[in-house]
Amino acid sequence: PPNLVLTLTEGRAWAELATSLAARPILMCAPRGDGHPVLALPGFLASDRSTAPLRQYLTDLGYDARPWGQGQNLGRFYKMRDVLSEKLETLHRQSGQKVSLVGWSLGGVFARYLALTHPNAVRSVVTLGSPFAADIQATNARKLYEAMSREGPPNPDDLIALAGDLPVPNSSIYTKLDGIVNWRTCIPKVAPNAEAIEVRLASHVGIGVNPAALWAMADRLAQPEGTFKPFSRKGPFALAYGR
């Protein structure tokens, strides 16, 4: 897990939010959406309130941004995966379009599961500080997660699948200064439709409102359906991205 020093600096998330508000005119210059639905999945112990700024941004860019509508995310992967599968299928059926998934932290783990099991309903996946690879127990929230979720250890086969290839374009946005999860757990396997985008100076708690992360997310979601081109680390936040 990240050391205590990094964990204690997670309060900088407020500065990331303030910076995004100040940079709003610049953020609105990101590639526009085509109106397809985007389902935002919050992190552990968070709710739709945490993704409200993110969803408002996507709505303003022209997407049909939707909340997950399940209250506080208490983990419970094996229960929630069935609930979210039904929600995804309903949204896919009602909209008549494939759904992009944006998952923050644990929400990104759910998003990858949905992409694996419902490829015909998912257009793309963007994760924000999500621990889905390597040793996913390398997190400072492990004991709390186990206590709140009341589930036993995850099935090893499920962990292997979540860390493997996805059938849809997927982008993992992460920070090496993550104070909650080890950043190495956010790195996907090398694949033609997968990439990792480092955002320097971001925090785990604030990456979902970080302006550079929001820009990268918008850029990824704007890709035409069925296509994938690696993220170009250019534009107004170029200096914020790692190599």
Q: Which two tokens stand for residue 87?
A: 């929600």
Confidence tier at 183 by pLDDT (50, 70, 90): very high
CA distance 90 to 58: 21
CA distance 121 to 48: 22
Q: Which two tokens stand for residue 35?
A: 């109106």
CB distance 84 to 115 below 8 Å:
no
Q: Quick: pLDDT tens for 204-218.
A: 999 999 999 999 999
To which H or E segment does residue 89 belong? helix 77-95
Q: How far is CA 176 from its chain centroid?
A: 16
Q: Quick: pLDDT tens for 87-138.
A: 999 999 999 999 999 999 999 999 999 999 999 999 999 999 999 997 877 8
Confidence tier at 151 by pLDDT (50, 70, 90): confident
Mean pLDDT of all residues belonging to the chain: 95
pLDDT at 194 over 70: yes
pLDDT for the residue 159? 85
Average pLDDT, integer, range 11-30: 97
pLDDT for the residue 155? 81
Neighbours of 72 (CB within 10 A): 13
Average pLDDT, integer, range 71-100: 95
CA distance 86 to 100: 15
pLDDT for the residue 153? 67
pTM exceeding 0.75: yes
Q: Which residues contact 104 (CB under 8 A, 6 or more apart)?
A: 40, 41, 42, 43, 46, 50, 51, 54, 127, 128, 129, 130, 207, 208
Percent pLDDT > 90 in the chain is 86
